[in-house]
Amino acid sequence: MEITDVKIRKLFDEGPMRAIASVTLDNQLAVHDIKVISAREKLFIVMPSRKNPDETFRDIVHPINAPFRAALETAVLNAYHEALANAEAEAEEAEDPVTV
């Protein structure tokens, strides 16, 4: 299975949640609401989940093996870092407009 696209849908400045991503697999299946979380100075992903009646959470979709989980996490975190850099560049450009 190939990760064919990763989109960072939203970035957050505060709190442990840093971003929400969508991933496309084999150009055929999209997985939405993958969260990028920051805890203990480390970034990791959390798969989409739902709340059960007993107040616990259960993943709706998740990787079956460690190698694919690592590949998915790497792809999402790389896209997050790229989106963050683009957002910072846009913010700097907005602060220092070029006059012609």
Sequence-ordered list of residues with C-beta below 8 angstroms from that of 52, at least 6 positions apart, any chain? 58
State how far the Cα of 31 lies from the Cα of 15, in Å rounded to an integer: 23
Can you give the pLDDT at residue 95?
78
State how far the Cα of 76 lies from the Cα of 21, in Å rounded to an integer: 7
State how far the Cα of 61 lies from the Cα of 16, in Å rounded to an integer: 21
Read off the pTM.
0.88
Domains of the chain: 3-95 (3.30.1120.40)
Model pLDDT for residues 43-88, shown as the tens digit of each residue: 999 999 999 999 999 999 999 999 999 999 999 999 999 999 999 9
